[in-house]
């Protein structure tokens, strides 16, 4: 069965959470792999279902796993952020603690999934695994943050300039119904001066499942101190540094990321 045949159509479900109801786009991968473990993909701060491209399908096929890809509220073809709605400093916690369980319930998910998160999605995966340790089989966290660094804020400022004066808005418009929704929700939250104190190091110490933490050595949003902090709090974590790689290994070095992910999954 080909990669394309193993992918279902993109569908929409209603997710009730935190007093709201959002339409969330999602797609199942590996339709022919009944009974195989499930890998849930959590996208970055400017990502979406479409922004992953073929990476989730490639990884699921290589690992012989089923997959679930979706766009969070505010992203892709899911319900956009309301005009004037600000995402508070707890928005990643709310996604991990409230939204993700509500999504799994809406989809009738009975599995104990593996989580694959990139950037914001990686932080959400860590927070979810810490809050619900018995409900997660394992985590692959790529370029995730557990605290805010100077380089993080500098990267956000570069992204803002690219959105206002460069071609970033046009690029995002191809993947999101309303590109202003994810960009300003994400950028305004992280560039809020109060967000400099955001730190989840203490919380992730509750993670008991296997964890692979991956980062490019040239990540433009973080230093390798993020990996050191994760290892300090989660002793069972395996660390992987990708040389000559930036913030998005799934686009910059997909083959290497798949290889490291496969080795980790096979070991557990």
pLDDT digits (tens, 9 = 90+) for 211-244: 999 999 999 999 999 999 999 999 999 999 999 9
What is the mean predicted confidence (pLDDT) over 178-186? Answer: 98
Tell me the pLDDT tens digit for each residue of 110-160: 889 999 999 999 999 999 999 999 999 999 999 999 999 999 999 999 999
CATH number at residue 197: 3.40.50.1820
**Strand bridging mode 114-118 / 66-70:** unpaired
Number of separate domains in the chain: 1
Question: Tokens for 132?
Answer: 């619900």
What is the mean predicted confidence (pLDDT) over 53-80? Answer: 98
Residue 6 in this model has a pLDDT that exceeds 80? no
Is the whole-model pTM more than 0.95? Answer: yes
Name the one residue in this structure whose structure tokens are 């660390």: 239
pLDDT score for 2: 54
Residue 3 in this model has a pLDDT that exceeds 80? no
Which DSSP category does 8 fall into?
P
For the chain, give the percent of residues with pLDDT over 70. 98
Tell me the pLDDT tens digit for each residue of 196-214: 999 999 999 999 999 999 9
The answer to the question of residue 34 being in a domain is: yes
Question: Tokens for 75?
Answer: 């992203």
* Confidence bin at 73 (pLDDT 50/70/90): very high
pLDDT score for 4: 54
The answer to the question of residue 66 being in a domain is: yes
For the chain, give the percent of residues with pLDDT over 90. 94
* Confidence bin at 89 (pLDDT 50/70/90): very high
pLDDT score for 1: 47
Cβ pair 240, 213 in contact under 8 A: yes
pLDDT score for 111: 85
Q: What are phi and psi of 239, to 5 degrees?
A: -110, 145
What distance in Å separates the CA atoms of residue 176 and residue 158, rounded to the nearest whole number? 20
What distance in Å separates the CA atoms of residue 210 and residue 6, rounded to the nearest whole number? 27
Cβ pair 261, 116 in contact under 8 A: yes
The answer to the question of residue 167 being in a domain is: yes
The answer to the question of residue 59 being in a domain is: yes
What distance in Å separates the CA atoms of residue 2 and residue 8, rounded to the nearest whole number? 12
What distance in Å separates the CA atoms of residue 89 and residue 155, rounded to the nearest whole number? 18
Range of the domain at 113: 11-266
The answer to the question of residue 102 being in a domain is: yes
The answer to the question of residue 1 being in a domain is: no
pLDDT score for 31: 85
């Amino acid at each position: 069965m080909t990669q394309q045949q193993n992918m279902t159509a993109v569908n929409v479900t209603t997710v009730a959470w935190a007093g709201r109801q959002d339409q969330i786009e999602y797609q199942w991968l590996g339709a022919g792999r009944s009974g195989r473990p499930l890998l849930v993909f959590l996208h970055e701060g400017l990502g979406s279902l479409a922004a992953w491209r073929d990476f989730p399908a490639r990884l699921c096929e290589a690992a012989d796993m089923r997959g679930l890809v979706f766009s969070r509220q505010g992203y892709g073809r899911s319900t956009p952020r309301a005009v004037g709605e600000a995402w508070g400093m707890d928005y990643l916690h709310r996604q991990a603690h409230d939204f993700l369980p509500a999504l799994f319930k809406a989809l009738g998910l009975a599995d104990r999934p593996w989580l694959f998160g990139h950037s914001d999605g990686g932080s959400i995966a860590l927070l979810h695994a810490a809050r619900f340790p018995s409900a997660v089989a394992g985590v692959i966290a790529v370029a995730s943050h557990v605290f805010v660094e100077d380089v993080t804020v500098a990267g956000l400022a570069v992204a803002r300039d690219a959105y206002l004066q460069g071609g970033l808005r046009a690029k995002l418009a191809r993947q999101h119904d309303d590109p202003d929704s994810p960009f300003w929700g994400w950028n305004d939250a992280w560039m809020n001066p109060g967000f400099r104190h955001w730190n989840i190091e203490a919380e992730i110490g509750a993670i008991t499942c296997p964890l692979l933490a991956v980062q490019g050595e040239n990540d433009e949003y973080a230093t390798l101190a993020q990996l050191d902090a994760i290892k300090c709090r989660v002793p069972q974590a395996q660390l992987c540094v990708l040389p000559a790689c930036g913030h998005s290994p799934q686009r910059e070095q997909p083959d290497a990321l798949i290889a490291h992910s496969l080795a980790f999954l096979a070991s557990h």
